[in-house]
């Protein structure tokens, strides 16, 4: 497996480290221009296009990007309530026909105007087709049954008090490094940078708190020259170092911190021209950086009837509100579903010995909160407002630890704190 290989679906869980007074932990992130993230962005562009036209649409879109090629495949259906089969079929065809300029605009927004991958010149192929009727019959609601889950599976949510965003510090700083580099690239302040990049942060923890940055890794695509000089790892480091340092709290980076900037040397060929990209290959980057278990399901390209996405969002929402309420310093939540079945098969809460009340009581309290709709797929979508075109923004720099803004990132709100306290 090459350097873009699949991330582990079940990383080592960090909770066993809590008994140690000192340990070292690492997380990584990738930029919006990483080929897998380009694929995620395109797949979520498709999701947003369908939900903008029809909030009840069904989408499962996979994207492949490689040297000047964009390939879409998967299953889609406009599911407008009350519309006839022919009317929905016509609407589906119209939405699919409108996708190409939206896809190209997304790639342009990332910044790809390179010889090997250009938003305007890359060949586009779309193989989206109708959703299976056998899947639809299990998911769609009827007079006899509520809407069922779009698939079976287990989903995890996590929160901790290491950062203001209640996210693992190693991952949060990894994201912020790349987000900052993207900002100065887009603004023109740092014109030497190109879209593809990766970061990695290693922290020393004492008594469960991050106290020192031990290692920083940044690999970023770049232009051939920096001013009059040929770009080199040392020159790239000199350029990006102030931006990288700015994302860390004062004192975390020390003279002992080791920097690894473009350690392989040149990084001029990148993005989909350097490595093929596929939807859903950065699931640990998308979630908790290895600090929590992962159920294995990707998010991008899926409408919110797919519990891989919506249940992962609600478990993060629950875990974050539990920590925000002061009920725990660290919390992991698991939900499980069966395809076509509306109610979750199980709910599990683990506060890793940091809880102020018993974990079982928190589970009971969650079940008492009526606004959560019993954590059914419809209940989740209704409470969080997920049937909206809000997903392109999630495609890079993590689905979690983001600032809720209007309709965007509603699972990051801490508006369930009072309900949890009242239910205990």
Handedness of CA 100, 106, 108, 114 (dihedral sign): negative
Distance CA 195, CA 362 (A): 43
The answer to whether 181 and 192 are in contact (CB under 8 A) is no
Q: Which of 267, 299, 400, 409 is catalytic?
A: 267
Q: Which of 37, 180, 330, 378 is catalytic?
A: 37
Distance of CA 380 to the CA centre of its chain: 18
Distance CA 67, CA 195 (A): 15
Enter the tokens of residue 88: 């929905």
Q: Which of 235, 294, 306, 320 is catalytic?
A: 306
Q: Which of 83, 136, 276, 338 is catalytic?
A: 276
24: β partners:
204
Q: Which of 62, 147, 176, 194 is catalytic?
A: 62
Would residue 156 show up in a list of annotated catalytic residues for this protein? Answer: no
Distance CA 48, CA 350 (A): 34
Distance CA 96, CA 129 (A): 9
Q: Which of 281, 309, 352, 399 is catalytic?
A: 281
Q: Which of 41, 58, 180, 282 is catalytic?
A: 282
Q: Which of 14, 34, 378, 383 is catalytic?
A: 34
Q: Which of 13, 75, 241, 423 is catalytic?
A: 75
Distance CA 150, CA 62 (A): 16
The 3-state DSSP composition of the chain as helix, strand, coil percent (nearest 5) reads 35, 25, 40
Would residue 302 show up in a list of annotated catalytic residues for this protein? Answer: yes
Q: Which of 196, 273, 275, 350 is catalytic?
A: 275
Would residue 403 show up in a list of annotated catalytic residues for this protein? Answer: no
Q: Which of 308, 350, 412, 419 is catalytic?
A: 308
Distance CA 222, CA 322 (A): 42
Element (H, E) at 214: strand 209-222
Would residue 85 show up in a list of annotated catalytic residues for this protein? Answer: no
Residue among 315, 321, 320, 307 nearest 376 (CA): 307
Would residue 421 show up in a list of annotated catalytic residues for this protein? Answer: no
Would residue 276 show up in a list of annotated catalytic residues for this protein? Answer: yes
Would residue 145 show up in a list of annotated catalytic residues for this protein? Answer: no
Q: Which of 77, 185, 198, 235 is catalytic?
A: 198
Q: Which of 302, 309, 320, 383 is catalytic?
A: 302
Would residue 34 show up in a list of annotated catalytic residues for this protein? Answer: yes
Q: Phi/psi of residue 69, each to 5°?
A: -140, 140
Would residue 306 show up in a list of annotated catalytic residues for this protein? Answer: yes
Would residue 361 show up in a list of annotated catalytic residues for this protein? Answer: no
Handedness of CA 307, 312, 313, 319 (dihedral sign): positive
Catalytic residues: 34, 36-37, 62, 75, 198, 267, 275-276, 281-282, 302, 306, 308
């Amino acid at each position: 497996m090459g350097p873009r290989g699949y991330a582990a679906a079940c990383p080592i869980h960090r909770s066993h480290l809590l008994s140690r007074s000192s340990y070292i932990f690492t997380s990584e992130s990738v930029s919006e221009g990483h080929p897998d993230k380009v694929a995620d962005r395109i797949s979520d562009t498709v999701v947003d296009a369908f939900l903008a036209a029809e909030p009840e649409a069904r989408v499962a879109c996979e994207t492949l990007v490689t040297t000047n090629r964009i390939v879409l495949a998967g299953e889609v259906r406009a599911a407008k309530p009350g519309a006839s089969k022919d009317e929905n079929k016509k609407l589906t065809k119209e939405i699919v026909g409108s996708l190409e300029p939206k896809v190209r605009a997304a790639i342009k927004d990332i910044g790809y105007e390179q010889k090997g991958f250009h938003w305007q010149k890359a060949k586009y192929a779309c193989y989206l087709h109708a959703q299976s009727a056998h899947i639809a019959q299990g998911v769609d609601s009827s007079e006899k049954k509520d809407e069922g889950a779009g698939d079976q599976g287990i989903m995890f949510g996590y929160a901790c008090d290491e950062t203001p965003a209640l996210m693992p510090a190693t991952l949060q700083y990894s994201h912020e490094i790349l987000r900052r580099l993207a900002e100065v690239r887009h603004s023109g302040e740092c014109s030497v940078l190109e879209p593809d990049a990766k970061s990695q942060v290693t922290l020393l923890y004492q008594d469960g708190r991050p106290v020192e940055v031990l290692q920083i890794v940044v690999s970023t695509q770049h232009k051939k020259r920096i001013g009059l000089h040929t770009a080199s790892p040392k020159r790239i480091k000199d350029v990006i170092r102030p931006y990288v340092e700015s994302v860390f709290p004062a004192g975390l980076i020390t003279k002992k911190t080791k920097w690894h900037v473009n350690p392989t040397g040149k990084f001029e060929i990148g993005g989909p021209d350097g490595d093929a990209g596929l939807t859903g290959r950065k699931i640990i980057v998308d979630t908790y950086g290895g600090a929590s278990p992962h159920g294995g399901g990707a998010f991008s390209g899926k409408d919110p009837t797919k519990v891989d996405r919506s249940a992962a969002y609600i478990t993060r929402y629950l875990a974050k509100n539990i920590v925000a309420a002061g009920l725990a310093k660290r919390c992991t939540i698991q939900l499980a579903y069966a395809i076509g079945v509306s109610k979750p098969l199980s709910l599990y809460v683990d506060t890793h010995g940091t809880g102020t009340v018993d974990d079982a009581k928190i589970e009971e309290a969650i079940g008492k909160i009526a606004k959560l709709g019993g954590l059914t797929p419809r209940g989740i979508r209704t409470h969080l407002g997920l049937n909206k075109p809000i997903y392109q923004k999630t495609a890079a720099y993590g689905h979690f630890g983001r600032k809720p803004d209007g309709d965007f990132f509603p699972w990051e709100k801490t508006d369930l704190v009072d309900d949890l306290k009242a239910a205990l």
